[in-house]
Amino acid sequence: MNIRNSKYQNALETYHKKIQSASVEDMVLNMGPQHPSTHGVLRLELITDGEIVKEVIPHLGYLHRCFEKHAESLTYQQTIPFTDRMDYLASMPNSHAWVMGVEKMLGIDKDIPKRVEYIRVLVCELNRIASHLIAIGTYGIDIGAFTPFLWCFRDREHIMGMLEWASGSRLLYNYIWVGGLFYDLPVGFEERCREFVNYFKPKMIELNRLLTDNQVFISRTANVGVLPMDVAINYGCTGPVLRGSGLKYDLRRIDNYSAYPELDFDIPVGTGAMGTLGDCWDRYKVRVDEIEQSLKMIAQCLDRLQKELKRTPDFDPRAKLPRKITPKAQDFYARYEGAKGELGFYFIADGKSEVPFRAKARGPSFNNLSVLPAIGQGVMIADLIAIIGSLDFVLGEVDR
């Protein structure tokens, strides 16, 4: 404990000396925690030489909600609504990751009905599209393009309506439960979802014409914020941030969980098509391409649900729900490809209680944000805004 305190004191003294020396010749600027371009209550302390950023110092903790402490006080099932509030822009994958970990600890992961698995993948991919639409829309407005923001939120509204129809909530769903689902899909959901897929495909073509291939947007994002693959790996970056640097790493393919092994989809990666491999444009383009792959997966799920895994009057999505969730004593790590990257939960079960002894969350946004000081040095302040938007972090996942 004393060693920890001394390390903290040394780091604090080093930080204060750095700020004091910087304030003599350079300028110290605070960006956030209320600045809209920081995408949440994030404070970035910038040491600048005129328009050039010499150093970026992130300050976290403005949104701490004690998720891990809650998880030590509630049962495995009761914690699911709190997982929704981590990445609140993609709540379905959060609960799916938690539930899959608990099911594997209980040894019931192979007993989940196929219809349940396909519904889980369906709603998670819909939520992934909704999350990426926010990333793309807000990124456009960060750069100065207002229309894509409106288009993305218009199309996201269709997804929000469908997920509300299925779960009763627009943002925080509590839909995926240990052993099953809160409820089966409503009658007519599959047909309406297919209508959305057919409607949305041409909209993505329009969005690409408006933003992706826009020369002004390319000029603001290509060759900016270049993240080399080795740096991304060393910082623990995952998801579109890592794949934007050229590494084809996707847990849906590597771990082959849920219904993903039975689906046909590609893993988009950055290619340096408009500038340098791993720049802001590459990270943006990976998300655009992932939306197309998610649409492809949704169409396959709908085919299975409408043909082979049809709704039957006797189907009960809660049939496999255990009455008491008490895993054997074990340490277990469950990981999942969320909208932002690898979302992981490390469980410590004592084998006696329905409440985990310890539950540690690994949020991808924390690692993706940690690389900002490394790629934000030597850029202009306006380019730093472009870099922040390309990382697509959410503070509910950073401050757990």
DSSP 239-261: THHHHTTT----HHHHT--TTGG
Helices (H), the chain: 2-25, 67-71, 80-83, 91-106, 114-143, 147-167, 189-207, 215-221, 229-234, 240-243, 251-254, 280-307, 364-370, 372-375, 381-391, 395-398
Angle between helices 381-391 and 280-307 (to 10 degrees): 20
Radius of gyration of the chain (CA): 22
With 0-12 / 13-18 / 19 or more C-beta atoms within 10 angstroms meaning exposed / middle / buried, residue 277 is middle
Task: Say whether pLDDT at 106 is over 60.
Answer: yes
Rounded average pLDDT over 55-69: 88
CA distance 187 to 174: 20
pTM of the shown model: 0.93
pLDDT tens column, 332-352: 999 999 999 999 999 999 999
Does position 17 have pLDDT exceeding 90, yes or no?
no
Sign of the four-CA dihedral 265, 266, 267, 272 = negative
Tokens matching residue 66: 């004690």
| Structural contact between residues 184 and 178, judged by C-beta atoms closer than 8 angstroms | no
Confidence of residue 163 (pLDDT cuts 50, 70, 90): very high
Q: Across all residues in the chain, what is the average pLDDT?
A: 92
**For strand 52-59 and strand 180-181, is the pairing parallel, antiparallel, or unpaired?**
unpaired
Q: What is the mean pLDDT of residues 165-193?
A: 94
State pLDDT tens for residues 183-206: 999 999 999 999 999 999 999 999
pLDDT at 122 over 90: yes
Q: In DSSP terms, which residues pair with 27 in a beta bridge?
A: 48
| DSSP annotation of 262 | G
Query: Residue 99 is encoded by which pair of tokens?
Result: 């539930």
Specify the pLDDT at position 19: 73
In this predicted structure, the answer to whether residue 1 has a pLDDT above a threshold of 70 is no
CB 320 within 8 A of CB 176: no
pLDDT at 111 over 70: yes
* Domain ranges within the chain, ordered by starting residue: 16-59, 67-398
- Where residue 80 falls among pLDDT bands split at 50, 70, 90? very high
| First CA to last CA distance, the chain | 22
- Sequence-ordered list of residues with C-beta below 8 angstroms from that of 31, at least 6 positions apart, any chain: 37, 38, 43, 44, 45, 46, 384
Asked if 367 and 236 touch (Cβ cutoff 8 Å), the reply is: yes
Fold classification of 67-398 is: Cytochrome-c3 Hydrogenase; chain B (1.10.645)
Angle at 93 between CA 87 and CA 97, to 5 degrees: 105
- For residue 181, the SS3 value is strand
Give the pLDDT mean for 285-314: 94
For residues 254 and 182, the answer to whether their CB atoms sit within 8 Å is: no
Among candidate residues 372, 360, 304, the one with its CA nearest the CA of residue 333: 360
